[in-house]
């Protein structure tokens, strides 16, 4: 035990002079050391910046998918490109209807709750919107839980309001600001087409998709007006032709995500049978979208790291090149050290430490540069960027590893020099 306690400090003491000596050699040739570090700086900065851009974009998409509800199934009516195509579809199918929702509820026991949805944009709105006209969502009260809505003021409509087709509504955050600005909205009235609706609540802000999510309609989820389904169907909606869907969406909340894939197939089968395979609907499974998005994120990160690692590889080649040049410059020094008793391991350690110091310093500067680049991109392009600890550690560890790997060969070559020939080298 006593001998071990004495050898440990001695072993540590062997590294400290080499580290100080390596720093002295690097600072002696400042410009050369800086140029050697540039490859590491650019590589690390690229890894950190690329991963931060990817993480920011992926986080918003995945948060939006989670907002859809991983235990939900969403059926969306497909919009025809033109009236001629719609007429062809209607000869085969009557479109999405309330009867479809009722049949699905009877035949899929794992559905805990659900609601049809009728969506339309009113032609006249008072007060006059400051921006785009809000979209009206006719839904049942269960949408409050299914759609993960949070009421910040007032209340959401209930089953009695829906049964009575009450002229009430709840405003989304953006719709409230557009119609009333900073003024109080709860208790006021909004005119939708020819019907005055009593504002009974305000919904909290929701995430909107920043990019296309498979099958999900791209719209401002905050610029919405929620109203009871029966009110929209029987009192609010414009005069309908036989071409339009009775309802254009179904939200189905499942007991568990484990059955989401099989339940989605059952729902597709029921609707295909009822619609005679017209293909006028799509079934969105948020749980599958979330899993797919996570796989995409992993693939994106792998590709980005591989691309950015090319710069690190170039930096490693630069380190090897400069270390080989240093051996030629310091051949006589190596010979003198070997002559006075330095072992091959001492020479190897000296040059490996210098290579690691270059990559370490380049990695530190690169992390700072990568963080600055990601913030600059977020400011200039308005993108969301997130610099994660894992991206910093990954880039930093790769840079240290590159310095170590590319520093070993020059160090071994230096250690193999013949001491007598090295001392005589001019």
Predicted confidence (pLDDT) at residue 9 exceeds the cutoff of 50: no
Predicted confidence (pLDDT) at residue 1 exceeds the cutoff of 50: no
Confidence of residue 4 (pLDDT cuts 50, 70, 90): very low
- pLDDT attached to residue 189: 94
Express each pLDDT in 315-350 by its tens digit. 778 778 877 877 777 777 777 877 777 778 877 877
- Asked whether the beta carbons of 239 and 173 are under 8 A apart, the reply is no
Predicted confidence (pLDDT) at residue 211 exceeds the cutoff of 60: no
Which token pair is 331? 């051949």
258: which DSSP letter?
G
Domain extents for the chain?
15-64+292-424, 79-279
Residue 409 and residue 322: Cα distance in Å, rounded? 12
User: 């969301």: which residue's tokens?
Assistant: 384
Other CB atoms within 10 Å distance of the CB of residue 406: 23
- pLDDT attached to residue 375: 86
Express each pLDDT in 248-265 by its tens digit. 899 998 888 788 888 889
Mean of pLDDT values over 89-105: 87
- DSSP assignments along 78-101, one per residue: PPPSSHHHHHHHHTT---S-HHHH
Residues paired with residue 116 on neighbouring β-strands, in sequence order: 250
For 146-171, give the secondary structure using H, E and C.
HCCCCEEEECCCCHHHHHCCCCEEEE
Express each pLDDT in 291-308 by its tens digit. 777 787 778 777 777 776
- pLDDT attached to residue 215: 58
pTM: 0.66
């Amino acid at each position: 035990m006593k001998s071990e306690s004495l050898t440990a400090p001695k072993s540590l003491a062997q590294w400290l002079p080499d580290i100080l000596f390596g720093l002295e050699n690097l600072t002696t040739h400042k410009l050369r050391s800086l140029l050697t570090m540039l490859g590491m700086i650019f590589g690390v900065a690229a890894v950190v910046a690329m991963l931060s851009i990817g993480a920011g974009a992926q986080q918003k998409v995945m948060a939006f998918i989670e907002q859809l509800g991983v235990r939900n199934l969403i059926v969306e009516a497909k919009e025809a490109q033109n009236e001629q195509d719609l007429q062809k579809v209607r000869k085969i199918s009557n479109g999405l209807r309330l009867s479809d929702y009722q049949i699905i509820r009877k035949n899929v026991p794992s559905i805990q709750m659900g609601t049809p949805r009728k969506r339309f944009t009113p032609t006249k709105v008072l007060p006059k919107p400051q921006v785009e006209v809000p979209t009206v969502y006719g839904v049942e009260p269960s949408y409050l839980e299914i759609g993960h809505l949070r009421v910040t003021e007032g209340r959401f409509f209930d089953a009695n309001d829906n049964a009575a087709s009450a002229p009430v509504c709840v405003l989304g955050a953006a719709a409230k600001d557009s119609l009333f600005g900073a003024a109080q909205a709860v208790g006021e009235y909004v005119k939708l087409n020819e019907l005055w609706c009593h504002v009974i609540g305000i919904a909290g802000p929701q995430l909107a998709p920043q990019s296309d999510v498979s099958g999900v309609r791209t719209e401002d989820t905050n610029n919405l007006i929620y109203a009871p389904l029966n009110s929209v169907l029987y009192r609010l909606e414009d005069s309908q032709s036989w071409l339009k869907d009775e309802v254009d969406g179904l939200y189905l909340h499942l007991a568990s995500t484990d059955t989401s894939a099989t339940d989605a197939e059952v729902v597709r089968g029921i609707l295909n049978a009822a619609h005679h395979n017209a293909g006028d609907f799509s079934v969105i499974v948020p749980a599958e979208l979330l899993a797919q998005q996570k796989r995409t994120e992993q693939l994106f990160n792998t590709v980005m790291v591989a691309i950015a690692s090319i710069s690190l590889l170039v930096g490693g080649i630069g380190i090897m090149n400069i270390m080989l040049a240093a051996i030629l410059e310091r051949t006589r020094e190596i010979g003198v050290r070997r002559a006075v008793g330095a072992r091959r391991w001492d020479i190897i350690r000296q040059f490996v430490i210098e290579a690691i110091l270059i990559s370490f310093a380049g990695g530190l500067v690169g992390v700072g540069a990568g963080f600055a680049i990601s913030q600059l991109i977020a400011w200039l392009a308005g993108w969301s960027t997130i610099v994660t600890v894992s991206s910093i550690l990954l880039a930093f560890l790769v840079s240290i590893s590159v310095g170590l790997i590319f520093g070993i060969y020059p160090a071994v070559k230096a250690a193999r020099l013949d001491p007598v020939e090295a001392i005589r080298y001019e």
